[in-house]
Structure formats: structure tokens, C-alpha cells
Amino acid sequence: MAYKQPVSALIVIHTHDLDVLLLERADYPGYWQSVTGSRDGEESLRETAIREVFEETGLDARGHTLTDWQQQNVYDIYPKWIDRYPPGTTHNTEHVFSLELPTAQPVQVSPREHLSYVWLPWREAADKVFSPSNRAAILQLPERAQCQQK
């Protein structure tokens, strides 16, 4: 088994009206999240974000506004996923991005990763996700989106 790098991208996909796309994990039904995934090889973090969005939703991020927030979250890797990383790895560094779409769109979830998806207003989406860093990013959306529009 190839180990995951402890470097990842979190991509909060949202509409102009701040509806947020959430995905339900296949390996933990009831756990909802934004698109997220580890960097492969030497790809840039932007390339990681673009690849993960496509793999998890079928959306091409290159056709929309993908913003690197220049924000990093370092957190303890959840015990249930620790075996996916090299031995002795305990922390992951997550880089936050947002992807703005004009309207909510149907997505094609990867069945090995996700069971379903839902578009929710940003406050409801923040309440539904299991990850504290994902919640914090969604709660920042109104301010971040307003800055992007200036």
C-alpha cells in the first residue's frame, strides 16, 4: 500500500449565493465534508485541489474561480485513518481553497469515496460537517466571498 502524504487540500465548493456542496463519506456514512484529499507526488497544492474536485465530483475546477486562501490548518490525524500515512505520522497540514460556481450543479460522486451529495446554505453546511477545520472554513465563506467580489 502506498502511504498518503500528510499534506492535503480542503476545497469548499460554493455558489455565488453561498450554498455549499457537501459529500457523504462512503467509509463513514453520516459523516459529511467538503472535497478534500492528499497531495500526490510533487504536484502543486493547486493541482491537488483541481484533481480532487474532479475525482470527487466530476467538476472541472479550471472553468471556475478557484481561490487559494493561503491558510493552513495543522491537525491530529483521526485514529481511524492513521494507518493510511507513513508510520510515525501524527499530523496533517491542510491547505484551504474555495471554488465558486455560478449555481448549484449536479455532481458525479466517486462511489468508492462518497455515497451522496447535498447543496446547503452555508450555515446549515457548517453545522453538518464533522471536521472542525471544514466547519471553520465554511463559516469564513461570507467574508471571503465578499473580498473576492471587490
Per-residue pLDDT, 144: 85
Per-residue pLDDT, 17: 96
Question: How far apart, in whole angstroms, are the C-alpha atoms of residue 93 and residue 35?
Answer: 15
pLDDT, block means (10 residues), the chain with 150 residues: 93 97 96 97 97 97 96 94 95 97 96 96 98 97 74
Torsion of Cα atoms, 67 then 73 then 77 then 78, to 10° = -80
Which structural domains are found in the chain, ordered by start? 7-149 (3.90.79.10)
pTM of the model: 0.94
Per-residue pLDDT, 150: 45
The 3-state DSSP composition of the chain as helix, strand, coil percent (nearest 5) reads 30, 35, 35
Per-residue pLDDT, 98: 97
> Residue 31 in 3-state DSSP?
coil
Residue holding cell 460554493?
14
Per-residue pLDDT, 145: 80
